[in-house]
Structure 1
Amino acid sequence: MKHLVISFICDDKPGLVDTLSSTISSHHGNWQTSSLHHLSGKFAGIIEVSVDDSYYNDLTGALNALSHFNLQLVDAPNKASGEGKTLNLSLTANDRAGIIQDISSVVHQHHGNLIKLVSQQQSAPHSGQLMFTAKVIISVSEQDVEPLIEALEAIENDLMVDINEQ
């Protein structure tokens, strides 16, 4: 069994997910994990697919033939078991330039690995002020959990960090 990570960006239009999913399915691939987004008139995403070795070349050939997608295909190892603790964080703060860099720097300095980061900018309900919100998954060793959380909370006095440990 092979694992394939597919990333893409293209002009957004109806039927894109259907085209990708039918191509993957008709070539015996199994769509496993994905994150797909409409961003500024574009449609972008990343998909993890597993496929039997005997169908791999047919699948990758069919995907590469999808000319209206700007695709990148990368072979991936089988899913590895994660070491350490997994933290699910919800972050909220007043939006400002550099907030992602500050967060990623703190995670790196405390030996964490960003597994997933999904962020958005939205208006606060009562004030209309722009707010930054993010859902973050981090893998970190047991001894680095508390220092990492403290450092995240110290980034800015208005950054709220809600933690879900797994």
Structure 2
Amino acid sequence: MLPFTYHSILYRSMNSFLYSQPVLDLITIATEYCKQVEQTEGEERNHFIEVMRGILPMIYLKMSLLGDVPEIPGFNEGKLTEADYDYIRHNVAALLAERDDYLDVFVEDFKYSDQPVLCTISENLADIYQVLRELVETFREGFEEPMQVALFEAVEKFKLYWGQTLLNALRALHDAQFGGNYQE
């Protein structure tokens, strides 16, 4: 019988965590999000805004329910290209048109200015897409160690960056649908 090491115990515990309901729920909603932002061509703008207003809170909730994910040593090669990112950003920007831009005070650049910063929903959604598509693709491949690394990285990036990006996009999407300046 092999002796137990900290790494082997952590690995076994992570394997069961990888297939837990909270992780499977996250992968499911992340997959749906990716599908929605990939299929914007021909989409009706108000419908897209409504769908994003429903999906983004679910992603935020599912990420929040994961809690802390233990760090596993490793590195995953990026699967998305700059062209993939630009494709999403461009298509969402084209769909949202004049509703894409919004002013934000919850960005790093605001610390150095007394004016809000012009941001775009399309860039926010592309940033979220980049992290979630990497996660979904890694899970699709089915190798547990890269899945663990990808999950840890997604959670850490959520805490540091894209969680706030998601909330900013959600606020802007709410305004795009219900704000006084955008009534059709």
**TM-score normalised to structure 2 length:** 0.19
Q: Highest CA radius of gyration, 1 or 2? A: 1
More strand by share: 1
If asked which structure has higher relative contact order (CA below 8 Å, sep 6+), I would say 2
Higher helix share: 2
